[in-house]
Amino acid sequence: MLFGIRLMILLAIMGGAIAYIADKLGSKIGKKRLTVFSLRPHDTSVLLTVLSGVLISLCSVLILAVSSNSARTALFGMEKLQNEIRTLQADRETALKEYESLQDTLRSKNEEIAALDKKIRDADAARLKSEESLQAARNGLEAARIQYETTQGELVAAQSEVKGLQAARDSLNEEITKLQERTKLLHEGLLHMREDQLVYRSGEVVFNGVLEGGRSPEESANQMKWLLESANNTALSRIGVDPKEKVEVVWVPKTEYEALEQRIQKEHGQILVRVRSLANTVVGQPVVCQFEVIPNKLVYHNNQLIYQKVLNVADQSVSPEEVMMSYLQEVNRLSVEAGVLPDPMTGKVGNISAMTVVDVQEKMRRMGGQVMLTAYADGDIMTAGPVQIRLEAEKVASADESMRRW
């Protein structure tokens, strides 16, 4: 404001000075009757007055241009300003169009997010429904197990009748065999029907592998690769997929993988590694596993005595099948106590063919009375198992028979 007042005062003084000078010049020209460009004195005076007015205007504009940047811009840069304003308006309209386009894109993305949220909610509902179906399948499996045990009891009763009916033994054995096959088929059918989606139960062993400790980092890495590939191929075969498809279904935490790789580099000797499922796994889910590491030591040498017991074949209160089952269970228990690792699901450490069991039972029946049944290790047995046994039956003379011989 102060600058404007000073500028007005300066313009007033300047205009007054120019008017005063013009007046003096006009008076002098009038008195001396001077002429310019052959004009009359009066016209010369008028011309001088006009020129003084023009000079006042030019000086005013010059002072304004010198003293104020805004005045210079208004006088000489107005067209440039107008062009810039038009350019800015065009940019503003373009920005508004882009803003509206971005608003449309944002609305579209929000709609997509809402659709994805709905899919997530639907997936959670489907998962809860699958868990309920799984629980129902477990209940059905328990009912099937009870039915199977009931059928097994009926089978034992039928076998007890066989001992009293020697003449019809062969035909009854055939019926019992058929009954066992039907029971097994029933059990497998119910199990398949109730657990069609279940691949592995929690804690179930997916694969057993024996690794060599104390090897180089490269050899250790190759062993780890072999272990995971074997476990993955086993799982693929379990769900009916060709291992050649190279689908990774077995997952192991990276920390466990690295810890096991370092351990097999440091330790020496054989190491048993069991790849076990961490949770129940259904078809379509990865089998998340963990490692169970146990030193693989020698438990039984080849032909080493495992268990020996005198059995009374003449005892009519117990069937030979029950006697043999009890004996094998004792062999299983002693093997576990000796250090053989059992299957976490069944608790068993080995298996024996049904033909071998039948042959030994027939041999014991022929001997009659007291029979010494001995189980020997059929080959070296390590912690990893399995326990392969060789059974030998030997007649034991009773006290009465010894006296008669004497």
Give one DSSP letter per residue of 112-124, joined into a string. Answer: HHHHHHHHHHHHH
Nearest C-alpha neighbor of 32 from the set 17, 19, 49, 45: 45
- Model's pTM, two decimal places? 0.42
- Residue 45's contacts (CB-CB under 8 Å, 6 or more residues apart) are 26, 29, 30
Contact 134, 201 (CB under 8 A): no
| Whole-number Å distance between alpha carbons of 330 and 387 | 13
Q: State both tokens at 273.
A: 């590694």
- At 64 the pLDDT is 65
| Whole-number Å distance between alpha carbons of 206 and 275 | 5
User: Helix 169-194 and helix 78-164: axis angle, to 10°?
Assistant: 170
Contact 250, 287 (CB under 8 A): yes
| Whole-number Å distance between alpha carbons of 370 and 385 | 31
Give the length of the chain. Answer: 406
- At 194 the pLDDT is 43
Q: State both tokens at 38.
A: 């052959």
Please give the radius of gyration of the chain, using alpha carbons only, rounded to the nearest integer. Answer: 54
- At 186 the pLDDT is 39
Please say whether the dihedral angle defined by the alpha carbons of residues 90, 92, 93 and 95, taken in this order, is positive or negative. positive
- Cα 328 to Cα 54, 302, 344: the distances in Å are 133, 19, 18
Contact 385, 336 (CB under 8 A): no
Please tell me what DSSP assigns to residue 386. -
Contact 198, 282 (CB under 8 A): yes
Helix (H) or strand (E) holding 199: strand 198-200
Q: Which neighbouring-strand residues pair with 281?
A: 200
- Sheet (strand 205-213) strand order: 205-213, 269-277, 287-295, 250-251
- Residue 12's contacts (CB-CB under 8 Å, 6 or more residues apart) are none
Q: State both tokens at 215.
A: 């090897």
- At 388 the pLDDT is 81
Nearest C-alpha neighbor of 300 from the set 372, 349, 357, 355: 349
Q: State both tokens at 195.
A: 């657990």
Contact 288, 201 (CB under 8 A): no
Contact 289, 278 (CB under 8 A): yes
Contact 304, 374 (CB under 8 A): no
List the chain pLDDT tens, one digit each, 406 residues. Answer: 565 676 667 667 776 776 777 667 666 666 666 566 666 666 666 676 777 677 776 777 677 666 666 666 655 666 777 788 888 888 888 888 888 888 888 888 888 888 888 888 888 888 888 888 888 888 888 888 888 888 777 777 766 665 666 666 776 667 667 555 544 543 444 444 344 567 788 888 888 888 888 888 888 888 888 888 888 888 888 877 777 777 788 888 888 888 888 888 888 888 888 888 888 887 777 888 888 888 778 888 888 888 888 887 777 777 777 777 888 888 888 888 888 877 777 777 777 777 777 787 778 878 777 888 888 888 888 877 788 888 888 887 754 443 344 3
